[in-house]
């Protein structure tokens, strides 16, 4: 009988440990899903804001170029020459963007993306460490009481 009580205690402890591990993994998965959703929503919000800003900037540049073309046309008193002068640098720049290798832009974007991912991972690790410390402190304070 003495042997059976010991195995029952061990069985109960093992059962508690396995249930605690299940709860732990369940909480970790939920936390991972929340952190992933938070990161994706933040990234989408930033992307949306930047895209809207880029469109507004593009629209402003278009109006600026039209105004410059009209001004040059009236200054040179030749119809269409102002638009040709303004569009020539844009045409050359567009050809350069199409035919030159975008390695510099690619490397910059890759570095920026890597830095943002590393920053997000570090923030998540700091949050998790703080949460674990808080849980341990509350458990210790509960044991003391």
- Reported as a single tens digit per residue, the pLDDT across 6-30 is 568 888 888 888 888 888 888 888 8
Question: Mean pLDDT across the stretch 78-97?
Answer: 89
Task: Inform me whether the pLDDT recorded for 1 exceeds 50.
Answer: no
Per-residue pLDDT tens for 36-86?
A: 888 888 888 888 888 999 999 999 999 999 999 999 999 998 888 999 999
Burial label, 86 (beta-carbon count in 10 A; 0-12, 13-18, 19+): buried
Instruction: Please state, in angstroms and rounded to a whole number, the distance separating the CA atoms of residues 79 and 72.
Output: 10
HSE on the CB side for 95, CA within 13 Å? 5
**Is the overall model pTM greater than 0.75, yes or no?**
no
Q: What is the pLDDT of residue 40?
A: 84
């Amino acid at each position: 009988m003495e042997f059976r009580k010991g195995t029952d205690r061990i069985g109960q402890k093992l059962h508690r440990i396995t249930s605690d591990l299940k709860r732990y993994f369940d909480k970790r998965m939920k936390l991972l899903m929340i952190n992933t959703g938070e990161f994706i929503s933040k990234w989408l919000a930033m992307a949306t804001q930047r895209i809207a800003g880029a469109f507004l900037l593009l629209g402003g540049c278009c109006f600026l170029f039209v105004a410059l073309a009209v001004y040059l046309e009236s200054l040179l008193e030749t119809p269409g020459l102002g638009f040709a002068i303004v569009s020539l640098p844009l045409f050359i720049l567009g050809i350069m963007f199409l035919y030159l290798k975008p390695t510099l832009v690619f490397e910059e974007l890759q570095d920026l993306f890597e830095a943002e991912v590393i920053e997000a991972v570090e923030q998540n690790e700091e949050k998790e460490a703080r949460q674990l410390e808080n849980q341990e402190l509350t458990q210790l304070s509960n044991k003391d009481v």
